[in-house]
Structure 1
């Protein structure tokens, strides 16, 4: 939709809050989706990669745990165009992104955590378009309790700063785990467990950051066992009342 850009999917976490107890990775939990006019169930990571391909990412890099042979097998069989790299030490989300960026080419990339999706593909396309107009683009949603999220402060169309899980949030705008970022952010990720401080440093260093705002219902994440039933319901509703 908006031209070629690398996609990067991070799916190397252990998913300790998922309730799966290591028996299955949360990225393989099925959610409802619409494919070729049919209602189907697909693993969350399948939906993430499919949406990336739909909005114009010709190359997708997936960061996995080297012991996660189930996800590796699924991605390899169903998405041969994807390149798989491994995060061998559990040193945080920021390090997973840094590892993946070693295989990403170009000046910008689309980043999506493997356990969450924007249910409407047009929301992802809007983020890509916003990212073409600025150095970075974030996807924001208003939440009741932003202390559990990365939180953004905005001024008009600009993001002026972000903070990870603040005790005293400066806004109610939480970041969805999907971004358009410059590949140069890799230099700010060394030694960092989280991505948010690197984004904040880039903003304060002068990079222009914009955002798209989505409804809370549009972001679905299978990160916790308590949220999965709601994710199934919302993905079903989104897929049966089709609006791309």
Structure 2
């Protein structure tokens, strides 16, 4: 299994901090926020990691993370030329992912307790998609999962009338069918290829 971590977001809502630095390098508790994603992936036993970067701040990320050896990882960099959505991220990373199952981790997330249990559960079941959810107070601000038992029926992005309190956290585990699925996705009203 491989991991794909995003580090290409422009961080416009964090300005002025992101005028001079990639948002994934902003420190939280004295270390860059993307380090938490790398540590979670390494603790889950994953060693091959693709970091998705953009042309504007990609070199800064490369210098900060290098080849990943400091984390016990092997990092490859995947360039996303324009912010065209998460499905587009998977499309451009497909050569790195090689059709294998993978963890898709939005690099500006910090998860307490790691992701090992989610990876192990995915590997133990025959499912092709696991989304990590969190109960939130204002679900209308997030992608919200409608659930039936332990199954996700659908995900609605920022619904006016949420049908649950469970938000998509930005950590996904996908099997090979995702590659065909992202090729079938059409641009949303925002002009992006969205997964949730």
Matches within 5 A, 1:71-220: 71-76=61-66, 78-79=68-69, 81-121=74-114, 124-132=115-123, 133=125, 134-190=127-183, 191-192=186-187, 193=192, 194-196=194-196
Moved over 6 A (4+): none
Farther off after superposition, 164-173 or 52-61: 164-173
Superposed displacement of residue 77, structure 1: 5.2
Farther off after superposition, 186-195 or 128-137: 186-195
Aligned equivalents of 1:21, 1:136: Cα separation in 2: 32
Superposed displacement of residue 78, structure 1: 4.5
Alpha-carbon RMSD across the aligned residues, in angstroms, is: 1.8
> How many pairs are equivalent?
182
Superposed displacement of residue 152, structure 1: 0.7
Superposed displacement of residue 21, structure 1: 4.1
TM-score (norm 1): 0.69
Q: Deviations over 1:72-120 (max 9, x none)?
A: 2112155471000111122223212321233103531101001012121
TM-score (norm 2): 0.85
**Unmatched runs of 5 consecutive residues or more in structure 2:** none
